[in-house]
């Protein structure tokens, strides 16, 4: 099998597996956030195995399939707004020198995504103003959870590289 054919087949497989997890997230709302985060691992695997551009295609195909074929709208929106593209952005950011710069950029990307999600949900889905939520607490709490997510995501990527991937 040629390298191009192998990359194409892997990316198609990763797209299908990410879509399956997004479908499960739509059907089983209890673990919705966990399944969406797990679906992003397939985009990360595509980055490792094929590079950033094929991983972008995995993200686009998975997102399109989930928008078209899943019964719920929340998992596809979570995947599109952050979890799907974050592995690609993470791989690009982590190529830069300086841990402080890397974390600043990662937090910036997360907070921009949180702002977009907050705006979309506040304007079109549910008006959060009636809940008396202090926006600063949302951003501080979200950033703290994001740091934990990024740490766990990094560990999952290293597990994939060291135990599953042929590329070491």
Q: What is the pLDDT of residues 5-56, one digit of tens each?
A: 999 999 999 999 999 999 999 999 888 999 999 999 999 999 999 999 999 9
Percentage of residues of the chain with pLDDT beyond 70:
92
The confidence score (pLDDT) of residue 130 equals 62
Burial class (CB in 10 A: 0-12, 13-18, 19+), 20: middle
The average pLDDT across 145-149 equals: 98
Which class in CATH covers the domain with range 3-164?
Answer: mainly alpha
The confidence score (pLDDT) of residue 50 equals 95
* pTM beyond cutoff 0.75: yes
The confidence score (pLDDT) of residue 166 equals 76
The confidence score (pLDDT) of residue 128 equals 62
The confidence score (pLDDT) of residue 37 equals 96
31: Cα within 13 Å, side-chain hemisphere = 10
Cα angle 89-90-92, degrees, rounded to a multiple of 5: 65
Rg (CA), the chain: 17
The confidence score (pLDDT) of residue 34 equals 95
């Amino acid at each position: 099998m040629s390298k191009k054919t192998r990359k194409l087949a892997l990316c198609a497989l990763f797209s299908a597996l990410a879509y399956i997890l997004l479908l499960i997230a739509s059907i089983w709302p209890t673990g919705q956030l966990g399944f969406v985060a797990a679906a992003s691992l397939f985009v990360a695997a595509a980055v490792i195995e094929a590079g950033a551009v094929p991983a972008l295609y995995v993200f686009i195909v998975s997102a399109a399939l989930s928008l078209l074929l899943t019964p719920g709208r929340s998992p596809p929106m979570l995947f599109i707004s952050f979890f799907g593209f974050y592995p690609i952005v993470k791989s690009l950011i982590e190529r830069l020198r300086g841990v402080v710069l890397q974390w600043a950029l990662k937090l910036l990307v997360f907070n921009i995504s949180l702002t977009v999600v907050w705006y979309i949900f506040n304007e079109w889905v549910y008006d959060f103003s009636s809940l008396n939520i202090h926006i600063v607490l949302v951003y501080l709490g979200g950033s703290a959870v994001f740091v934990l997510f990024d740490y766990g995501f990094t560990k999952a990527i290293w597990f994939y590289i060291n135990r599953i991937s042929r590329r070491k």
